């Protein structure tokens, strides 16, 4: 089976790094990579809608810049010594906003994962995660999103941190991507429970047993930290252990919001330099 991976790019250094991270992650597997550039001429949405019409000077200029940029990325990947014969690349230039563009390609091409950079051309040192990456993780719910910070190392993960409060009725189809990444990388999954309570209730115990069933066959270990701060605890845990990735289930308006909603995202993004895999609760 060939994997189908979507790689959004704005031609920034971080987006190119995310492409190279995806190539490394899937280096031993057959993949079709779709490199997507969204054709959006200005930062002003109204201006773009009014002026970006086929045939207009603004549209044709933006289209040419997009096509030339994609051609350069394609050549960079395919015309060097690191080209992988198992990998096939296709480029897509699309007039859309980022969210609709990604959702559309995910549906049309049956994409199984999106891998993207956390920052674009408007690179800011204020946070490691730009607003676009946060927005994509929150709004694109028809596919898991793997975001790659500018400072991340391009290597297979050896430990993936999976924070959980054990309030989720875990499902195999929701965790399949975490399982597959751990399996192909021979990585350990560090299941991290951050709590104020020392004792687990019956529901949590049942969900832990579900999780054990789903993760059977790969390496995992349970960890508990007593803390009032989820985001700082994750930072400390990842840094102290030299972990390589963080994965979580994006329960809309719940666990995702508790970690990544502003201003909490700023505390995490100052320090977290590893890729984040956002999976999705399929009820949402």
Q: Which domains does the chain have, with CATH numbers?
A: 3-148 (3.40.50.620), 159-280 (3.40.50.620)
Note the pLDDT tens digit of each residue in 4-51.
Answer: 999 999 999 999 999 999 999 999 999 999 999 998 644 555 555 555
User: pLDDT tier at 200 (50, 70, 90 boundaries)?
Assistant: very high
Specify the pLDDT at position 134.
80
Alpha-carbon distance of 237 to 194, in angstroms, equals: 10
3-state SS, one letter per residue, for the chain: CCEEEEEECCCCHHHHHHHHHHHHHCCCCCEEEEEEEEECCCCCHHHHHHHCCCCCHHHHHHHHHHHHHHHHHHHHHHCCCCCCCCEEEEEEEEECCHHHHHHHHHHHHCCCEEEEECCCCCCCCCCCCCHHHHHHHHHCCCCCEEEECCCCCCCCCCEEEEECCCCCCCCHHHHHHHHHHHHHHCCEEEEEEEECCCCCCHHHHHHHHHHHHHCCCCCEEEEEEECCCHHHHHHHHHHHHCCCEEEEEECCCCHHHHHHCCCHHHHHHHHCCCCEEEEECCCC
User: pLDDT tier at 217 (50, 70, 90 boundaries)?
Assistant: very high
Note the pLDDT tens digit of each residue in 74-112.
Answer: 999 988 878 899 999 999 999 888 899 999 999 999 999
Contact present, 3 and 112 (Cβ < 8 Å)? yes
Q: Report which of residues 123 and 206 the model is more confident about.
A: 206
Note the pLDDT tens digit of each residue in 222-256.
Answer: 999 998 788 888 989 999 999 999 998 877 654 44
Specify the pLDDT at position 132.
80
Q: Of 18-22, 176-180, 185-189, 264-268, give the lowest mean pLDDT range.
A: 264-268
- What average pLDDT does the structure give for the chain? 85
Note the pLDDT tens digit of each residue in 47-67.
Answer: 555 556 677 777 888 889 999
Q: What is the mean pLDDT of residues 136-156?
A: 91
Specify the pLDDT at position 51.
59
Alpha-carbon distance of 261 to 284, in angstroms, equals: 17
């Amino acid at each position: 089976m060939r994997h189908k991976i979507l790689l959004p790019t704005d031609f920034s250094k971080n987006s190119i790094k995310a492409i190279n991270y995806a190539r490394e992650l899937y280096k031993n597997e057959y993949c079709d990579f779709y490199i997507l550039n969204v054709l959006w001429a200005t930062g002003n949405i109204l201006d773009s809608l009014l002026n970006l019409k086929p045939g207009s000077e603004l549209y044709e200029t933006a289209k040419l810049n997009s096509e030339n940029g994609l051609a350069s990325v394609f050549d960079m990947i395919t015309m060097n010594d690191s080209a992988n014969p198992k990998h096939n690349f296709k480029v897509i230039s699309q007039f859309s906003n980022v969210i609709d563009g990604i959702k559309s390609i995910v549906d049309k091409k049956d994409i199984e994962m999106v891998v993207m950079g956390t920052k674009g051309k408007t690179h800011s040192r204020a946070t490691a995660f730009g607003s676009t990456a946060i927005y994509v993780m929150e709004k694109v719910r028809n596919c898991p999103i793997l975001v790659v910070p500018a400072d991340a190392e391009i290597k297979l993960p050896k430990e993936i941190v999976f924070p959980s409060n054990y309030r989720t009725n875990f499902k195999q189809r929701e965790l399949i991507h975490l399982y597959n990444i751990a399996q192909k990388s021979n990585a350990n999954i560090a299941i991290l429970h951050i709590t104020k309570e020392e004792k687990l209730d019956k529901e949590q115990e049942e969900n832990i047993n579900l999780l054990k069933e789903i993760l059977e066959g790969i390496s995992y270990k349970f960890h508990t930290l007593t803390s009032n701060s989820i985001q700082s605890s994750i930072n400390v845990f990842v840094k102290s252990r030299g972990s390589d990735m963080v994965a979580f289930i994006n329960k809309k308006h719940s666990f995702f919001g508790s970690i990544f909603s502003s201003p909490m995202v700023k505390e995490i993004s100052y320090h977290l330099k590893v890729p984040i895999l956002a999976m999705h609760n399929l009820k949402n």
